[in-house]
Structure 1
């Protein structure tokens, strides 16, 4: 009759593999004899890669560390020791180990290590420290294209003064990143940096948000500082400033010129020292023409004007940005994605990027939620994107681009005829000198 009873060895093996801690044991020759299921999960190794081998054959240790398991085999027990090492495929592992020699009849017959995995905890702590220490600076910006490097150089120069800055660029080109970098590399870096999207707040609330309120100004009103007072000594970023009403633009202009602010319903003027940085995602001349921007406010803000190039005009930077976003989300998601395959690279180079750098980041984030291996493939990109990857007929040049090209050629021609005289050229074009200077800078003439 067949015996259904399990032997003690089988019971022990079952127990070891059910434990939620790693168990790794070596014999007196330093060869692995026990390597449980949890240990395989922690180290991303199969037991057949480790059994009957020395840990030193399979794992790599940092220069200033040794294997705690081999130390125990030499008679040195270790308790609650943190160890960082690498498996045979280069994956970094961090554990807390309790390691003891196995002594029988006064002789060391092996060693056993009890392991707790803290790899994810270590990454979380590192990510928190990184976020706490990270400051937007020009040195951290990713890009090597001439267009990008030129605007970075101009922005660096602007950080040396307290003049107003106007950042012009399409949605997603990184205007806020530039504004924070200008602030962080200026003499105001230790003071507040406050950002407000002017399109995100209703008109009825925007005035009190900017300038504050005095008690009794309206029912329920309390004494409350506005953004200008909160940013005193530092920098105030007003995003999409052209979405402000003409009334608020007029009040904003007065505050900038007089360097004082009066709370809504109040009577006292308070002196302020605030550097103003504003952003727009449209041509300011068009905004002025269509009464979305006061001309006098534009002149006051555009002491320094920076045009941020769209991603389609800086394709040399796509690979750098892609890798940068992969590293960012590797940290956030505790993943180890190494890059994108050749098909994705090709697609990225031919995509027109209407959402610019922000769109690229969102695509990488989305892909890393789907990827199973260590490489992002076309199948991991959004369907709405990949449908456009198939070969298409050559695109026709948009009308606005054609008009801009014609305008650029005509301005260059008149400038040359007038010996570079801006005032004379502006009169011939029927433009103000300021409008012509804007175009010269826009077209890099």
Structure 2
């Protein structure tokens, strides 16, 4: 019985789904197959490459030659080769290729290339080297006179006395990295390196090699290269958005922290390291543990010192101070002479909930000053359009007819949680153990919330 499906289309579908680039040219060097992964790696549309000569589409300069063309001409397999070249838009691409000829009846009729993308890894390494040459921030540059900010600054300063792990929790834009660098600069490690890496920015298959380093031959294209732990030896390693790491990688990270030794990917040799670990999260770690985004045992290791950075909406008394700071910053950058903000514009800044926190406020001030000419005061008309529309009388009437004082659900629930915890604490004479039992949560969970809400203990 004849099959009622097209095997050729099935094979083609599989080749487009695999996680390696596949490029096949005929004996003239014209592309006859180019899978989707290869198109993504080379930032091309498949139509730009198919049925065209490879040397008309890609540029190989200096000592670089197309391994695909070489294999086609020599009839030899090239083996694993690192190759850097330009696409037709001038973008640099770096891959690890293995090319080989395809023969039929003893004649070379085509050549195929299987490629792995290392462009991103090369870029990440370069960016880390550039970004981590200098450390900028100290506690003097943290702006805030509110009680909540003074408290967390004081706690952070105390953390400079030791090399214990620090977990910094706060929403996006609250300044977590600023606190991390300030702790490093205030510690005995200040003369050592400060290395930072956003864990969410790197694919999992690259992250392990980036963290722990690689040994030549460990995988295709691997070279002897120190990882971030070795680069940070004697200093501080900041891992931003630690809950973005996979569970398996979190387990390996835990082992490194416990043993203070690393083993490069593909190596058998263990290397001693002396690194202080600072991590950040933009969510409640207990929720992250519950939803398996953070290992509980790793959390205990990372949270020896825990800092909770308050969102801007909970310290609005700092808005005038921050506004003056950003005005001064952009006066210098734009060669302007703005010296104030009008009461109407200031009122909008106080009314806005600032989901993007201090970073959003900075962008709002920068945007306002971009709209000014010779004025010395930021007026209502200078604020970015979304803020003006959101809080204009017309804008309010169009916003679902909700009362102006309505708050986001998350913020309202947090207020209710805080008030209830305060009530239960008072009923139990501020005995944390008894209060936790009444609330039906662990003592540690209650301690965490007391710190989060800056409640009396």
- TM bracket (short chain): 0.5 to 0.7
Q: Check 1:327–1:414 CA distance in 2 against 1; reply closer, same or farther (3 A cut).
A: closer
Measure the CA separation in 2 of the matches of 1:363 and 1:343: 15
1:272 CA drift (Å): 0.7
Measure the CA separation in 1 of the matches of 2:407 and 2:244: 29
Aligned to 1:314: 315
1:95-132 CA-to-partner distances (Å, cap 9, x unmatched) read xxxxxxxxxxxxxxxxxxxxxxxxxxxxxxxxxxxxx9
Aligned to 2:337: 336
Measure the CA separation in 2 of the matches of 1:310 and 1:411: 20
1:22-75 CA-to-partner distances (Å, cap 9, x unmatched) read xxxxxxxxxxxxxxxxxxxxxxxxxxxxxxxxxxxxxxxxxxxxxxxxxxxxxx
Matching residue within 411, 425, 447 for 1:437: 447
Q: Check 1:419–1:379 CA distance in 2 against 1; reply closer, same or farther (3 A cut).
A: closer
Q: Check 1:311–1:413 CA distance in 2 against 1; reply closer, same or farther (3 A cut).
A: closer
Measure the CA separation in 2 of the matches of 1:346 and 1:409: 27
RMSD (CA atoms):
2.0
1:383 CA drift (Å): 1.1
| Bigger-Rg structure (1/2) | 1
Counterpart secondary structure, 1:278:
strand
Aligned to 2:383: 381
Measure the CA separation in 2 of the matches of 1:140 and 1:134: 13
* Aligned residues of 2:165 and 2:303 also touching (Cα < 8 A): yes
1:420 CA drift (Å): 4.0
Counterparts of 1:40-119 in structure 2 under 5 Å? none
Counterparts of 1:4-23 in structure 2 under 5 Å? none
After TM superposition, the structure 1 stretch with the greater mean CA deviation from structure 2, 368-377 or 164-173, is: 368-377
1:385 CA drift (Å): 1.8
Counterparts of 1:321-360 in structure 2 under 5 Å? 321-360=322-361
1:299-343 CA-to-partner distances (Å, cap 9, x unmatched) read 111111111111111111111111111111222222222222222
Q: Which residues of structure 2 form unaligned runs of 5+? A: 1-132, 397-402
Aligned to 1:272: 273
Q: Check 1:401–1:368 CA distance in 2 against 1; reply closer, same or farther (3 A cut).
A: closer
1:418 CA drift (Å): 4.4
After TM superposition, the structure 1 stretch with the greater mean CA deviation from structure 2, 308-317 or 328-337, is: 328-337
Aligned to 2:103: none
Q: Does 1:230 align with 2:231?
A: yes
1:377 CA drift (Å): 2.0
Counterparts of 1:230-249 in structure 2 under 5 Å? 230-249=231-250
Measure the CA separation in 2 of the matches of 1:293 and 1:387: 40
TM-score, normalised with respect to structure 2: 0.65
1:256 CA drift (Å): 0.7
Q: Which residues of structure 1 form unaligned runs of 5+? A: 1-131
Measure the CA separation in 2 of the matches of 1:231 and 1:444: 33
Counterpart secondary structure, 2:181:
helix
* Aligned residues of 2:348 and 2:387 also touching (Cα < 8 A): no
1:428 CA drift (Å): 4.3
Measure the CA separation in 2 of the matches of 1:220 and 1:133: 30
Measure the CA separation in 1 of the matches of 2:135 and 2:260: 32
Aligned to 1:366: 367
Measure the CA separation in 2 of the matches of 1:340 and 1:404: 32
Aligned to 2:262: 261
Measure the CA separation in 2 of the matches of 1:379 and 1:333: 19
1:140 CA drift (Å): 2.2
TM-score, normalised with respect to structure 1: 0.67
Matching residue within 415, 418, 424 for 1:408: 418
Measure the CA separation in 2 of the matches of 1:421 and 1:277: 31
1:395 CA drift (Å): 2.8
Aligned to 2:22: none
Counterpart secondary structure, 2:288:
helix
Measure the CA separation in 2 of the matches of 1:397 and 1:356: 16
Counterpart secondary structure, 2:200:
coil
Aligned to 2:74: none
Q: Does 1:190 align with 2:191?
A: yes
